[in-house]
Amino acid sequence: MTTSSRDRLEQALVRINDPAGEGSRTCLTVYTDAARKAADAADARAKSGSALGPLDGTVFTIKDLFDVEGEVTRAGSIVLAPRNKPATKDAVIVKRLRDAGAVIVAKTNMTEFAYSGLGANPHYGTPGNPADRSRVPGGSSSGAGVAVADGIGDIAIGTDTGGSVRIPAGFCGVVGFKPTVKRVSREGAFPLSFTLDSIGPLAKSVAECAATDAVIADEKPAPLEAREIGSIRAGFAQGLPIEGLDDIVGKTYPQALAKLSSKWKSGRDVTLSALSKMHAINERGGIAPPEAFAIHRDLLKEAAEGYDPNVRARLLRSKDISAADYILNMRDRAIAIAEMDKVFDEVDVLVMPTTQIVAPTLQEISVEETYLKRNVQALRNTSIWNFFDVCGVSLPMKFDNALPCGLMLIGRHGNDRALLAMAAAVEKALAA
């Protein structure tokens, strides 16, 4: 990076504090003094030739559901602070970032308890989409998407249970990476689903996501394997992932495919037969909904009126799912995962739009019926891949589209670094 860490931090603080901007809605806690000390220390290490690695001095934001020692973790809500004690230590990923020299400037806004793909928050306000402030940023990592797109820091950390990194990345026009669940420790992150939660970065480039991924996964940072798009066998998802695309996504996605069509090693249409098993499981209540209700059951009895009404309603819809159905769902999911994994014997990466729609307007989602519809549309494509526990990345598609939308690449379970290397190749080809 060409400017000092302190200079980039000060630029981030200016944007956070700009009354005409989205800083106050994007950043719920700002660590001005601690961040300045960290940035100055990083600059001193850089000057002395003792930098800690590729993230040393990088300005980060972290989602509001990560523990920071001495603070009560809010998770975008108002009901936890009066009831919970301050965290006794940093979340694992926060500690790993600090140990790597990262400068954490702020905690970012989010959908309450991470339970929506739109990013609206009635308690702290909803940060406007950088492409059109009258539109939602995507969720649940709403502040993360806005922070990166608006230049509030270099990289943001979000979580992804059904698309909560990739949706705001797609809606805000940045890169977002969702790892295989087991890759990154979730200790110190307020949960939504014990089974599906994952932690990943949003940034301006795949390289920045990859550097961050290595650190939070506790791996030694190393450059990605050099990969050319001409070495990649692409599978183009058919059926549900490309049905009902709105006008902008429906025009932009074919443009991306056309630009890349002659560059792949091979390309083939892929029908995802395992989706029928996923649908059957979801009809029995799914995986995340009963887990989310279990997490919130006692708190809902005590403080239901303090919840975002949309989040509360979604949680309560799962209160009658039986233990028997949940057990069957977990068993059948394992079978479905094995079936989906076979797809990656034939292709290296699956390709599809990140979302069915571009970011809806805040006005649209103020109506309950439309909120529910748009939330389902935002989550449809991304949530498939949490269910199958694979890794995924959203890349911006930048043609003549009036609003941002994302190209989603999906890789095999555990092949996270390989997917990031392929994503870097596709990113380069899209920019050519």
Instruction: Give dist(CA 407, CA 74) in Å, integer.
Output: 32
Q: What six digits make up the tokens of 364?
A: 């649209």
Instruction: Give dist(CA 201, CA 159) in Å, integer.
Output: 8
Q: Of the residues 140, 141, 318, 394, which is catalytic?
A: 140
Q: Give the residue carrying structure tokens 């037969």.
A: 273
Torsion of CA 140, 143, 148, 149, to 10 degrees: 90
Residue 259 annotated to the active site: no
Residue 163, CA distances (Å) to 30, 122, 170, 191, 365 in order: 26, 21, 10, 15, 18
Q: Of the residues 164, 193, 198, 318, which is catalytic?
A: 164
Q: Which residues contact 334 (CB under 8 A, 6 or more apart)?
A: none
Residue 185 annotated to the active site: no
Where on the phi/psi map is residue 30: left (φ > 0), alpha (ψ -120 to 50), or beta? beta
CB 68 within 8 A of CB 22: no
Residue 164 annotated to the active site: yes
Q: What six digits make up the tokens of 200?
A: 């990943």
Instruction: Give dist(CA 310, CA 288) in Å, integer.
Output: 16
One-letter identity of residue 138: G
- Beta pairing class for 198-203 and 406-411: unpaired
**Residue 431, exposed/middle/buried by CB under 10 A (0-12, 13-18, 19+)?**
exposed
Instruction: Give dist(CA 173, CA 394) in Å, integer.
Output: 9
Q: Of the residues 63, 178, 263, 277, which is catalytic?
A: 63
Looking at the annotation, which residues are catalytic?
63, 140, 164
